[in-house]
Structure 1
Amino acid sequence: MKINCIVVDDEPVSRDTLHQYISNCPSLHLVEVCKNAIEASMVLNTKEVHLIFLDINMPKLSGLQFYKSLVNPPTVIFTTAYPEYAVEGFEVEAIDFLLKPFSFERFLKSVNKVSNLLKMAHNKDQNEAFILWKADKKIHKVKIAEIEYLEAVGDYVKVVYGNSSLLVHSTFQNILAQLPSEKIVRIHKSFAIALSKIKIISANKVKLNTTSIPIGQTYRTGFLEFINNNS
């Protein structure tokens, strides 16, 4: 996952340094370089930003004042030439504090902290994501992370998850449309599997945690290309 970031700094040399460092970091995508808090506010109101490289000592509105004013602030790494601001910076739960001038290695260490935290948050969200399906005249809550495979059975779809299964009255296509395509992949006209549950892939079948699923001839090439591109 690319981390969308912005730079907010009133010093041209600092902006140029961060621009260069970010361009050399594959995990980062630079959305905008801003000279002050006003420009940064406009960007945050219109674009998705995960991380701010924020100078503390800026005229009119300091980086700390600006960050404290945000309702749902992105993750922040403060940058400044004044070490006395460090304590106050960490009080607003900054990920890191870069003292100018800082090396690329020091910059990369901060970025890795952010990357790890965002991955943990993303995985938590994915593990908690769920979907509601009606079966047996009841509404069942199914965690997407627990789904093992789906099977088309006449006018129903069998959903196998955890130690349970459901028969949902729906078309196979409709059920698949409700699920993340990067996690649940169709490999047969009657089967779709969860990539996280794969144990072994052979020439004509996929072994999952509890069963083996055939790979349909029509879906074989696309499925193997998907696996190769995501492995």
Structure 2
Amino acid sequence: MSIKDNLHTIKNSLPNHVELIAVSKTKPNSAILEAYNAGQRAFGENKIQEMAEKHEFLPKDIEWHMIGHLQSNKIKYMASFVHLIHGVDSLKKLQEINKQAFKHHRTINCLLQLKIASETTKFGMSIPEIETLLNSEELKNLKNIQITGFMGMASFTDNINIIRTEFKSLKTASNLLKKYIAFNFNPKTFSMGMSGDYQIAIEEGSTMVRVGSAIFGIRNYT
């Protein structure tokens, strides 16, 4: 099927409260434009410089989501336009995002990444680490960020029970952390689920899914 057909199939399967992020990493501008012309506006990239290059040449009403592991020294390249940063895993990175957002007179939305997978290759914070962050005086000084929810990545496995348990743990953790709601922390977004497991993620409370290969086809690796 075409990108347009794939998008329509996936969107028709999603509940109204779930937002679709089309993961366009490594894909050419032409593929993104095909999805854009089919009505998609939210796209996810995992490399800041690649996203910045695409932003320069593609329609300006696209909402760009940074979904990859975040490098603090590159935040400045996307601070003027990024819509949502997934996967923030430290106070230091929030401080840098706040610094760069201030320079552009913006408030940048962020998700805290909770480590829900047992794989050592997955990034993220533990619940105690997030509690320490949310309790910190340093966080209270960050006026140009808004923590809007949490992100998690399940283990790469065919075991559906493991995947479901890991997704469930993110929603459970988020319920525990809601007591820390503040002016810059109001968690309503739960970003979990990709091409192979997004339906399970939705069943376990996801409100945002990151789908790439099911829309654009097999990933092009460089």
- Give your verdict on TM over 0.5: no
Q: Of the two structures, which has the highest relative contact order with CA contacts closer than 8 Å and spacing of 6 or more?
A: 2
Normalized against structure 2, the TM-score is what? Answer: 0.30
Query: Per residue, is there more strand in 1 or in 2?
Result: 1
TM-score, length-normalised on structure 1?
0.29
Greater Cα radius of gyration, structure 1 or 2 = 1
